Every structure is written in C-alpha cells, then in structure tokens.
C-alpha cells in the first residue's frame, strides 16, 4: 500500500553507471589470491557488488531489534534473510536520505555473525566499499541468519547520543542490513521491536500486533521502513493536530521528564494552525497520517530530519515550558513538515536513489532545502508561532550574516550544495569564509526574492503560494515520488508569472554573487538596519543559547566560559589577530562577562579609545586591541514608507486582511 514508485529513472541510470564502474574497478584492482598454497588461508576474491534492479525480492526479511539493553545504549539485531543462489552481498545503509551524504554509522556496528541452519558462515567485508559484506551461501540453504549489535554512542565525542535511560531514537537504517541487487522498495521487511518495560512509542509505521513490550509492525518495503523512524520512551504524549478528518496529523512528544510534556492551550493552538496553514499552502497531503516525532531532551541529541509521513524534531526540554525563550529555533516543525511535500513527495531527480548504497547528487539542495527553509519560516509566521516582528528579525539576522561573511566572493552558492558530501556536518575553521551550507539560508533569501518578484510583476495578484500549489499540490493523497529537475522548477515559475527565471536563478545560484541578497526585503517594503537595541525575544532566548553573539560588531561569537566559537573573516576581531581557538579572559582589564563586553562596546561608540581584550591561546596570554566604535549592531528590518508592504502580506495568516492568499 505504501509502495513508492518514481516517475523517471533517469537519475538512476547515471547512478547505475557509477556502481557498475566501481564493480569493474573492484575486479580490476583486486589481487588474485592463490587458492591452494600452505600457510594462512587467503581471502577469496569477493564478487562484484550487484547493482540494484527494480524486481521483487524473493521473500520477506524478518528483522528483530531489541532495545531492552538501553542502559548500555546497545541495540541488538537479528535478521532472517531469504536467499537464492550461491552468493549474497549484504549492504549496511551508507547514503542516508535527508542527510544527503554517506553518513551511515558503519563504525558503530559490532558482533556480526552469519549462520545458516545453525552453522556459522564466514563473511568478508568488501575491500573497496566497507559498507558491503560478501557471503558464500552453502548449497541448499534458503535462508540465512544475521546477528549484530548497533553500539550507539555513549559519549558526545562518539557521535549523537540516540539512546538514554528514558528515550530511544531509532533510525531503522542503523539497525539493519539488506541484500544488494534490489531497489529498496522491492525488499519487504517484517519488523519486530522489543522495548524496555513500560515504554511507549511513536512511528509512521502501522502496528500489526503488540504483546507485552514486543511490537510487530505490518510488513513494509525497506524504503518505507527506513523512512519511518521510531521514538520511544517512558514519558510520552500524543496530541491530535489534524486539520480535517482526511488530514490526520499528530504531535508525538517524547521527553526526559513528565513535566516537560505540559502544553498550554495557546501552544496547542499554534501547532494546529501550522497544520492548517500548510494544508492551505500546498492544497494536498501525501501521507495516510503524519507524525511529528518531537524529542524534548538534554540527554538524547536532537535532529531535524524529514520523512514522508513523519519527521524527527529535536528541541530543548523547555520547548513548551519556556515558550518565550524558543523563538530562534521555532521554524523547525514548519521546515520538516514542508519536506513531506518538498524533498519527499517532490524530490530532485538526481537525489533520488534506488537504494542506500548508491551515491546521491545534491545540486538541487537550494530548492530542496532552500525553499523549505523559506516556507518553514513563512508557515511559522502564518501559524502565529512567531510574531511578524520576530519573523522579520529572523530574516534580518540571516541577511546580516551575509553582510559580514565574505565567502560569497569566491564560492558560488551552487558549490555549497556539495558540502554534505564534503564535510558531513563536521565543523570548519572559518565558517564565514568557507560558507559550508549556505544553500539553506541563501536559498531562503533567494526564494523571498522570487516571491516578491512574482508579486511585483503580477501587480500582487500572484505569489510563490501559486507556485507551491502547482508544484506540490498535485496527486493529492499519493505517496508516489515525483522527481523534479531545474527545468521543471523554471517551467512552473513561468507558469505562475512569465519572466526570465532561468537568468534570475543563474545570476543568484550558479554565478558568483558577492552582494548581500536583500532584494526581497527591498521589494517587500523593508530595509536591513542595525541598532544597539536587542529584541525582547533575543533577551528571553539568551540564557538557553550556547554562546553570546558579537558577530555583527566585533565579528565573533563567545561561549559562556569565554571560549570563542567563531571569528568572522575580515571582521574587526579577525583583522586585529583574534582566532577561533582563543579564550577571552578580560575586557579592558576586567574579567570577561557578556554584559561587560556589551557595555564596553556601547561606551566605545562615544570615544576614540580602542577596546583592549586579553585572550588565552594554549598556555600563552595575548592582549589584542581592537579599534572598533560601531556599537552592538543588532539587525532589524525597517519599514520603508510609501512602498508596498509585501513582507507583511507574506507573513500574515492565510485569509486575513493583510494576507494575499
Ligand atoms: Zn531540511
């Protein structure tokens, strides 16, 4: 029922060529081992990894995952895999959807044993692709048993914590292997999960039966299983956010503690409104039911990860209990929900892959992520999860960061879409110069630019809302992935409002574009300005933020203990010799506190005296003077009188007097 198809396998043709190339290369590179010499037994030449084909797998894989050893953060896995023929290659998922990169946690795997009819069979890891395991299947064997453990991180330096005493965040791709040679949608999985006693769970999967702490799920294709993570824990609440009987949406909250589950009526109302606004914007849905898997935890690491019928949404434990403090990250649910339409239902053609071991190509992430970043923020505003002023401040912060980040001088935005493969989210030394993943935020501003351009050209009769309805609001109720290309995006823009959209996007996405992308503000009736006044929402958020932000003034962010987080390239701090590996100890001879530095910056506006900062770097101390007198420079958007207030219309709830929908 949830089997997905793809409308064009063109991307796969390219991917298949890559896989075939690697297979041939493996054969060419592998030494031929003598088969009968004495001494240590040689490792036999592994067969090539079979490229995936769109044909049914002969039988269903039975998968049992045991999470009852959550105290040791160990997930034990047993698989029973039907086999045909004499060889089998098992793949551990490498290219993870939503990560857009080869981030499958192969280093966390341990205790692999393969058996047939109770007898051990040797396995050989592929020497070129370490995610593949080759197995010679004994004659007459119809099924093999595979056991291993997923040894989840115990400390943050081992990776994101996924299991705690109270919570488990289970990505099925972490806890399974699957046979090579088939599309993921063609391999059925019958899945069983054993949970710690008393835990509840949420997932987009359908439960077939439950017995005690054991859950059996309805058989699904591997593709649906991997796309349907499960959150479980002792403190759990499920809230109905459905906008109609046809559009079933739930908020499944898993928390460190019971008190974190408290939701006020106002908070519930804006979450429901988010679902309503999305239904109006996209005029469709592409799920049976949708589950926001909301993790409120300090102990388990949160992610924002999209899926077709659910999303993983990590927030601090006080998401509900300190609502005013959470303005900054509040677009997460709108962003991940939007991905059900953009990224899952509609997917860039060369990002679609037949299984999890074929490389992805990320060149359209500025649409997949950039437009999602735009709609996520717009829906958050329309739902009332942020006020219009808070929304404008958030957009201003994004543009202000481009004002002080010169990476756009050398790196066109399109090149940043390679970053998930280049660095897989590992930190870089000079973020404003390397600009690792600007396709999110720069993409967001480009789509605001496009939205206001459509509004201007059409006399405010059309907008990017019309694009959303045409592009995403098709095949209502269908899960069948419909891929898109750049030409499809341009054609739909032209359908909404004829214009040189190819030239518009070429200039902004594919060519060097060093200027701050703020045309959307100008056309929206606002301009980017700076002041010494921190917005109220930022003051409320500051105690929960991991650093103090002096990026738009001195050009650095500083953690609570004075450790620098980032230094902006070419900023006053950079030019004075400050580097991101320093610790700020004193300001003008007094121990550093964020308040002291703020007061010093304000006072320096009225003098010509340089600011004197004492830094520690390794075991040496260094005094650095910065001749800066520009104040605190909090970014804002200021209304330009006499111009159309298109930004107000974009952020207003649908159907309201200010809104244009
Ligand atoms: Zn995203």
Q: Tell me the CA–centroid distance for residue 339 and ligand 1, in Å.
A: 7
CA 130, 426, 580, 573 torsion: positive or negative?
positive
Q: Tell me the CA–centroid distance for residue 306 and ligand 1, in Å.
A: 7
pLDDT digits (tens, 9 = 90+) for 112-148: 999 999 999 999 999 889 999 999 999 999 999 999 9
Q: Tell me the CA–centroid distance for residue 99 and ligand 1, in Å.
A: 9
pLDDT on residue 659: 62
Strands 310-315 and 289-296: parallel
pLDDT on residue 656: 82
Question: What's the CA gap between 371 and 315, in Å, rounded?
Answer: 22
Q: Tell me the CA–centroid distance for residue 370 and ligand 1, in Å.
A: 8
> Is 46 or 298 the better-scoring residue by pLDDT?
298
Q: Tell me the CA–centroid distance for residue 351 and ligand 1, in Å.
A: 14
Question: What's the CA gap between 166 and 301, in Å, rounded?
Answer: 13
Neighbouring C-beta atoms of residue 265, cutoff 10 Å? 6
Name the burial class of residue 429, with classes exposed (0-12), middle (13-18) and buried (19+) by CB atoms within 10 angstroms of its CB. exposed
pLDDT on residue 3: 27
**Does the structure show a pLDDT above 80 at 46?**
no
pLDDT on residue 105: 97
Tell me the CA distances in angstroms from 528 to 328, 396, 398, 634, one per residue in order: 18, 6, 10, 10
Q: Tell me the CA–centroid distance for residue 437 and ligand 1, in Å.
A: 11
Q: Tell me the CA–centroid distance for residue 190 and ligand 1, in Å.
A: 29
Q: Which pTM does this prediction carry?
A: 0.93
Structure tokens given for 403: 């004002």
Q: What is the DSSP letter of 158?
A: G
Q: Tell me the CA–centroid distance for residue 367 and ligand 1, in Å.
A: 10
Q: Tell me the CA–centroid distance for residue 250 and ligand 1, in Å.
A: 20
Q: Tell me the CA–centroid distance for residue 304 and ligand 1, in Å.
A: 7
Q: Tell me the CA–centroid distance for residue 362 and ligand 1, in Å.
A: 13
pLDDT on residue 59: 98
Q: How confident is the model at residue 661 (pLDDT cuts 50, 70, 90)?
A: very low
Q: How confident is the model at residue 48 (pLDDT cuts 50, 70, 90)?
A: confident
Say whether 647 sits in a helix, a strand or coil.
Answer: helix
Average pLDDT over residues 625-642: 98
Q: How confident is the model at residue 18 (pLDDT cuts 50, 70, 90)?
A: very low
Average pLDDT over residues 208-230: 98
pLDDT on residue 38: 55
Neighbouring C-beta atoms of residue 44, cutoff 10 Å? 12
Q: Tell me the CA–centroid distance for residue 402 and ligand 1, in Å.
A: 20
Average pLDDT over residues 462-490: 96
Residue found under tokens 């290659």: 89
**Does the structure show a pLDDT above 90 at 587?**
yes
On whether the CB atoms of residues 124 and 133 are closer than 8 A, the answer is: yes
Q: Tell me the CA–centroid distance for residue 188 and ligand 1, in Å.
A: 28
Q: Tell me the CA–centroid distance for residue 246 and ligand 1, in Å.
A: 25
Strands 583-587 and 236-240: unpaired
pLDDT on residue 15: 36
Residues contacting 299, CB < 8 A, separation 6+: 161, 164, 165, 166, 167, 256
Question: What's the CA gap between 552 and 607, in Å, rounded?
Answer: 19
- DSSP characters for 610-624? PEEEEEEETTEEEEE
Q: Tell me the CA–centroid distance for residue 380 and ligand 1, in Å.
A: 15
Q: Tell me the CA–centroid distance for residue 309 and ligand 1, in Å.
A: 14
């Amino acid at each position: 029922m949830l089997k997905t198809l793809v409308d064009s396998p063109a991307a796969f043709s390219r991917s298949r060529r890559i896989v075939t190339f690697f297979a041939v290369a493996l054969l060419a590179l592998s030494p031929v081992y003598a088969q009968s010499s004495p001494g240590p037994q040689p490792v036999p030449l592994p067969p090539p990894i079979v490229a995936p084909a769109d044909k049914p797998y002969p039988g269903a894989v039975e998968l049992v995952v045991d999470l009852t050893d959550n105290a040791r953060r160990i997930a034990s896995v047993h698989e029973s895999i039907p086999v045909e023929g004499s060889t089998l290659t098992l793949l551990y998922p490498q290219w993870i959807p939503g990560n857009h990169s080869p981030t499958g946690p192969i280093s966390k795997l341990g205790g692999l044993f393969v058996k047939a009819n109770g007898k051990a069979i040797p396995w050989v890891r592929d020497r070129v692709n370490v995610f593949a395991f080759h197995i010679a299947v004994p004659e007459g064997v119809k099924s093999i048993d595979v056991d291993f453990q997923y040894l989840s991180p115990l400390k943050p330096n081992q990776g994101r914590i996924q299991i705690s005493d109270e919570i488990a965040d289970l990505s099925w791709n972490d806890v399974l292997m699957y046979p090579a040679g088939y599309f993921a949608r063609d391999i059925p999985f019958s899945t069983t999960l054993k949970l710690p006693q008393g835990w509840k769970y949420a997932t987009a999967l359908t439960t077939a039966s439950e017995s005690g702490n054991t859950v059996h799920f309805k058989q699904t294709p591997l593709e649906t299983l991997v796309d349907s993570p499960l959150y479980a824990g002792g403190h759990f609440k499920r809230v109905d956010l459905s906008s109609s009987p046809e559009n079933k949406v739930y908020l499944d909250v898993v928390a460190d503690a019971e008190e974190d589950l408290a939701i006020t009526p106002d908070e519930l109302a804006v979450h429901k409104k988010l679902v309503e606004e999305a239904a109006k914007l996209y005029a469709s849905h592409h799920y049976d039911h949708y589950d926001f898997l909301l993790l409120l935890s300090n102990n388990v690491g949160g992610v924002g990860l999209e899926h077709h019928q659910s999303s993983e949404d990590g927030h601090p434990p006080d998401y509900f209990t300190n609502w005013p403090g959470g303005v900054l990250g509040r677009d997460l649910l709108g962003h991940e929900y939007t991905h059900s339409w953009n990224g899952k239902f509609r997917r860039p053609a060369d990002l679609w892959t037949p299984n999890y071991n074929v490389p992805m190509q990320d060149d359209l992430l500025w649409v997949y992520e950039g437009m999602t970043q735009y709609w996520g923020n717009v829906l958050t505003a329309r739902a009332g999860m942020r006020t219009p002023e808070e929304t404008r401040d958030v957009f201003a912060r994004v543009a202000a960061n481009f004002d002080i980040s010169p990476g756009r001088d050398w790196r066109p935005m399109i090149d940043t879409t390679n970053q998930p493969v280049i660095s897989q989210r590992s930190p870089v030394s000079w973020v404003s110069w390397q600009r690792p993943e600007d396709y999110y935020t720069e993409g967001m501003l480009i789509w605001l630019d496009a939205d206001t351009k459509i509004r201007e050209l059409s006399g405010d009769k059309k907008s990017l809302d019309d694009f959303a309805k045409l592009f995403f609001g098709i095949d209502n109720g269908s899960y069948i992935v419909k891929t898109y290309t750049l030409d499809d995006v341009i054609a739909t823009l032209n359908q909404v409002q004829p214009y040189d959209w190819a030239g518009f996007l070429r200039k902004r996405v594919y060519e060097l574009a060093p200027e701050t992308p703020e045309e959307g503000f100008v056309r929206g009736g606002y301009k980017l300005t700076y002041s010494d006044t921190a917005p109220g929402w930022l003051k409320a958020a500051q105690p929960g933020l991991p650093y103090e932000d002096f990026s738009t003034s001195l050009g650095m962010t500083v953690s609570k203990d004075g450790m620098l987080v980032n230094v902006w390239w070419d900023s006053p701090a950079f030019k004075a010799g400050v580097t991101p590996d320093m610790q700020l100890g004193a300001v003008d001879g007094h121990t550093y506190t964020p308040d002291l530095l703020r007061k010093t910056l304000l006072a320096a506006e009225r003098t010509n005296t340089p600011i004197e900062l004492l830094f520690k770097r390794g075991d040496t101390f260094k005094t650095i003077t910065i001749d800066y007198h520009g104040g605190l420079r909090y970014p804002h958007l200021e209304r330009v009188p006499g111009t159309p207030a298109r930004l107000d219309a974009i952020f207003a709830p649908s159907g309201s007097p200010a809104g244009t929908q």
